[in-house]
Every structure is written in C-alpha cells, then in structure tokens.
Structure 1
Amino acid sequence: MSTPAIFSAAARRRARDRAAGRFAEHDFLRAQMLDGIADRLLAVKRDFADVLDLGCFDAAFAPPPGARVARLDPGFAFARAAGGVQGDEDHLPFADAAFDLVVAAGTLDTVNDLPGALALIRRVLRPDGLFLGAFVGAGSLATLRAVLRAVLRAAEEEQAVARLHPQIDVRSAGDLLVRAGFALPVADVETLTVRYSGLGRLLDDLRGMAAGNILAERHPLRRDTLARAAAAFAARAEADGRTSERFDLVFLTGWSPAPDQPKPARRGSATTSLAAALRAGDGGAGR
C-alpha cells in the first residue's frame, strides 16, 4: 500500500507557476542558498562537465565554467523560461550516471518522497559525483507558527499544525543522505532573520517564492482568524514596528561512492584513548 501524499503535486505546480512572474521580488532565500552552495563548490578542487540544476526556479544558478547544464523544475513556467524540463525530484527523467554535479536549492522540502528523491539523485550521479542541496528546514517560521497555534487554540479550532508544512531538521537530513547511499555526507544549517512590517508582507513573500500552503489536505484560514493572527504578529513587533521571522537553511553535501574516495576511520582504530586526551588537557584554570 502506498504512503499517503503529504503535498499536492497539482497545488505545487500551480504555486510555482503563479510565482514565476514576480519571483525576482521574493528570491532572497534562494539567493542565500545559492551563495552557500557557491561557497561549498569553491572548496572543491575539481572540474565538472555535466551539471543538473534540480528545482531551477529562474535559472539563477551559474554552473562551473565550461560545464553543460540541464535544468528541471516542478513548475511549467519556470521550466519553460529556463529552457529545461518539467518534472518532480522523486521521478527524475534522466539516465543513471548522467551528471557529475547535481545542485538542488529550494525545493526538496516539498517533495513527497524525499528519501526516494535523494536515492535518484545519487543514481544520476557518476562515481565520485557531487550533490549540493539546500532547503528551508526545521526552526523556520517560528513566529508564524507560534502565532497560528495561539490564535487557533484560542478559537478552539483544530488542525493548527496541518496549516503549515512539516519541516526536516539538520540531523534527519544527514541521516537521509546516509540512507540514500551518499559517501562523506555532511548536513549543516545557517540561520537568516528577516524583519517584517506586518503579517501580510510575510505571507506575500511566501506566496512569491512559491512557499505557500501546498499540503494535500488544506484548511484555509477564515478572514476573522487571519485578522487575529495579523494582530498577534504585530503584537510581537520590536520598537521600530517590525516583527522578526526566522529561516533555518539546511545545506546538504554528499558524494556518489567511488573506490578511491577517502574512507572514514574504522571504529575502534584510534590510537589515543579519550581518557588519556582528557588527562592531557587537565591543565586549564580552576575556579
């Protein structure tokens, strides 16, 4: 029996098509992700010939010099504008070992089968190929979540959590890389704080970056509930009238396995015990 879908594929495509025309006004999170990916790519001293930009949005990702790039997006408008193909990350239309670099910035958190998507990414990589990903992870939208929970609880409404997307924390992301078969997996997180003049501006940003509610089971907010949420959001404002919202960006790095890659040390192979290391460092100042 198949697992019920968390996200609606049709709603996901519609949200992306609606956002395509004005994405440049709301692209700051993906720009931050691409900056982080570029920094990580600069640390890799090798050439890449064939690159996949997975979840390409407006094709802002610049491949390494001389590399050929294929682009895929779940939305038709983004895919067409980028000269790419429309498709989903957990149903990739590419041959095995077709790329030596896959970049996925900003869409993996809304894939129904993320373990399957990561396994497919590894399959389309050649041996010793590199995967660099980023998405909005656990801890994000903390203010919005708190406001909605409080407002819905006060109104004695159910489905408070179901109105917002589930989130993946950095530890789970690292575990998923291991499960998908990546070598030398690394998952880390960077936090970005954005200050808003009101709830409406935050919701406009979320819609503009195609990050609105695409849950398979959606429960739209009533006008009066939304008004109470806006008031509660404003009540959290600082002295200048702006309310802080948090975005935690999870970055993923993994390599397709190859025989000549460095291997982690065998468990139990250390030549110095922890107790000896602690004794050696016992010369610190006391209190």
Structure 2
Amino acid sequence: FWTHTEPFPGVELKASQKPQHHGVYTMFHGTSIASARLIIANGFKQSTGGMLGKGVYVSRDKKKAAHYPLNSNNTDRVILELRVRVGRVKRIDKDNHPLQYTWHSHGYDTAWVIPNGGLKAVRSGLEEDCVFDPKRVKVVGIANAPNPIVQKELQHGVYTMFHGTSVANARLIIANGFQQSSGGMLGKGVYVSRNKKKADRYPMKRDSSDRVVFELRVRVGRVKRIDKDNHPMQYTWSTQGYDTAWVPPKCGMTAVPSGLEEDCVFDPKQVKVVVPLRNRWNKDPRLYGLLGGRGMDLK
C-alpha cells in the first residue's frame, strides 16, 4: 500500500475531465475477494484481452468499479483504491476506433474511454481506462469491502485461517509453534485453509474426539495461485519468490476432491495460533494452559 511518506498520492479527476499526459490519478478497480488478495500480495497482472486489448482495467468512477466482477454477489465484491501513473493517454471515443486495440503499439500507455462516449461495449456510459503496464497501477487502499473483517484482512495482509490436527500435535504446536511439513501436494510448508470445513476434516481417519481446529492469523506475503494438476510451479513456488501457494475452491485438482480452498505457507513463522476451536479444547485444560489463555500475536 501507498503510505503518506510517498510524495504524491494522486489527483482525483471528475469522470469527464481529460487526463494530462504523465499525470498520477486516483482510480478504482472492482474485483472478487480472492482476486483482491492476490493483487495486494503480488500486484496487478495484465489481462489477456478486453474491449481495449491487454492491460489493467480501471476507472475514476467508483460506480463503474462497483459493477465488478460481473454476475457476482455483493458479498464477494471489493473495490480497490489505486494510484495510477497514466503516462501517455489515447482517447477512445467511438466504436471501431482505429486504435481501439493497438494504442500501445503507437506509443500510448493508457487508453481512455470517455463517459457517455456511445461505445456499445460500455452500456453504462461510465468512464473507463486501460493501463498497459501493470507497474503503473498501485493499490493504495480499500475503497469498499463486503464487511469489516475482509476490509481489515486486506488492509493488513494478515488473514484468518484454520488448521486441523490431533490433540497431541495441538499441544506441540502451542508449545513450539508450527513446523514445516516435509512434503504434501504443494511441497514443504504449513497447510491451512480459510474454510473451516476443510480444517474440520483433519487429521484424516481420526475420531472426532482426537481432532482440534486452530484459528490462525496468517501473513501470506507473496501468493502463487495453483489451479490445475501438474502446475509447473506446484512444488517449486517457494523457490520462485512466493511465500504462499493457494489452491482456489472448485479448481478441479484431483488431489483436492472436496473442492475446498487450501493454502501452503512456506515459513511457519508467518502462521500464529489465535485459539483452538473444537470442544476438545474445553475437555483438555492443558491446551488452554499452554496457550496462556490467549492467542499468539504476529509481530
């Protein structure tokens, strides 16, 4: 995120105001919660296409960003506030504009669709921009989130997740912290999930009386999405500069027949216990005593 120690936070233009070449402007981007986490962790990625070709699609109009993702529920919509260095700007103000898809090859950094410009692809009539280089777009805040919990998680990069384990292992984790697993479907790391139902299943083939689910605070760092079998970085993501591997829900990987979301955090120091959740916690006061009656904080 941008901080107030940086020199220029960005100018807010009205939708109809013409951007100046090489200006820095406040804009917005609407996305899902999962994508917002990836963007904050890794930065924007260039889209493969769109009505203006490749780039990062943004708008000065928050109402425009609020429409995205299309066909999604409001409970899964986040609006990111951005600082955008527009560079050289090309105005696209009609259908079949000769530079609609080729503006970047003509030396422009941003394509600007004016409000109420009459383009059929912009039925809302709201202003839109496409920035070719993702490095020109930086997240500076969360303009809107579905609830305060998501807002706080996105702002601080520390997420609530869960881990299921046995009572014996729970005691060791509370006493010594997490240890990196020797392997797994994503290689070495600590396996956690944002979905408590996923954690409830572990350890596999154990009686429910020997299961404890930890609520965790996880600092994810840089995140790599692993969304298919035999992904080229399925086991090597940590060697490529990523801190966490993320398997999205219902991605079809054969190793995740439940279809539930899963994460692998390479450094155990980034995973801290808040509190055990299952009833076994109440039946075994030694767990509570080891934790000292409160959670361990991420510094």
Normalised by the shorter chain, which TM-score bucket? under 0.3
Counting helix residues as a fraction of each chain, which structure ranks higher? 1
Normalising by structure 1, what TM-score? 0.21
Normalising by structure 2, what TM-score? 0.20
Larger radius of gyration: 2
Q: Name which structure has the greater RCO, CA cutoff 8 Å, separation 6+.
A: 1
Counting strand residues as a fraction of each chain, which structure ranks higher? 2
